[in-house]
Amino acid sequence: MKKFNLVACASALMVLALSVQPAAAALKANVGGLSDYVYRGVQQSSGTGYAGIDYDIAGAYVGAWAADMPLGIETDLYAGYGFAFTENLSLKGGVLGYFYSDDAYDDAYEIGATFTAWFASIEIAKGVVDTNPDTDYTFVALTGNYKDVYAKVGAFGDDLDGNYFEIGLKKKVNDFTVGAALVNADEDLDDQAKLVFDLKYEFDVL
C-alpha cells in the first residue's frame, strides 16, 4: 500500500508536469563520472559513470538518472513541483524511486520536500525499501551554501539509523560542473571518511 501511494503521487506529478503550458519548458541532459559514488553518507560504488535527463515546465519537473553499479544499473525516476514565495524563499516537493536491474539491491520509494531560505535549506523525506518486510525510513538534511562552497548534515531515522557530515565545492565552468567533497559518516552508515570527485557535462536538448 505504501509503494502504491508513492507511485500514485508520482503519476499525478508527471501528469501535472506534462499538462502545464509549455511557455517555460526546458529539456536538459547530463553525463558525468564520480571517483566514488557516495549517496547520503553511504558508498554505493567505487567509481562510476552516470547520465540523466530532466524536463522542467513552469516549476513542474520530471526526470531520470542512471548510474553503473558493481552489479547492474541503478535507475532513479523522479517528479515534483517547486515554487518561490519570494526571491529568497522557495519550496520544492516530489517523489523519487530507486530501481535496480540486479536483485542484489532493493528498490526504494520516497516522497519528500525541500525548503530553502537565503543560503540554507532543509530537506525532509519519507521512504520505504522493498525488503521483506518493508523497511521504513526518514531522512533529514540541513545544507548551508556560500557561493560555490556547501556544508551538509544528514540523518536517518525509523528503521534506518545513522548520520553524516559533508563539505564540498561545486564550480560551474561553461557547460561543465567540477565538484569535490569530503564525506564523513558514522558507524551506523559507512564509518569512514571519503574524498569524492565529480565531473559533469550538462547540455540543452530542447
pLDDT tens track for 77-107: 999 999 999 999 999 999 999 999 999 899 9
Position 191 scores a pLDDT of 82
- Which amino acid is located at 128 in the chain? V
Band of residue 206 on the pLDDT scale cut at 50, 70, 90? confident
Question: Exposure string (b/e) for 114-140, b if CB count within 10 Å is 16 or more?
Answer: bebeeeebebebbbbbbeeebeebbbe
Q: Quick one: average pLDDT of 146-154?
A: 98
Any domain includes 185: no
CA dist 169 and 65 (Å) reads: 22
Q: How many domains does the chain have?
A: 1
Average pLDDT score over the chain: 91
Any domain includes 119: yes
Between 18 and 187, the more confident residue is 187
Band of residue 1 on the pLDDT scale cut at 50, 70, 90? very low
pTM score, whole prediction: 0.87
Any domain includes 149: no
Check pLDDT > 60 for residue 19.
no
Any domain includes 79: yes
Any domain includes 162: no
Position 132 scores a pLDDT of 86
Any domain includes 73: yes
Query: In the chain, what percentage of residues exceed pLDDT 90?
Result: 83
Any domain includes 146: no
Cell of 203: 547540455
Any domain includes 159: no
Q: Is residue 134 a contact partner of residue 140, using CB atoms and an 8 Å limit? A: no
Which domain does 19 fall in, by range?
A: 2-139+197-204
Position 192 scores a pLDDT of 86
177-202 pLDDT tens trace = 999 999 999 998 888 899 999 999 99
CA dist 189 and 37 (Å) reads: 14
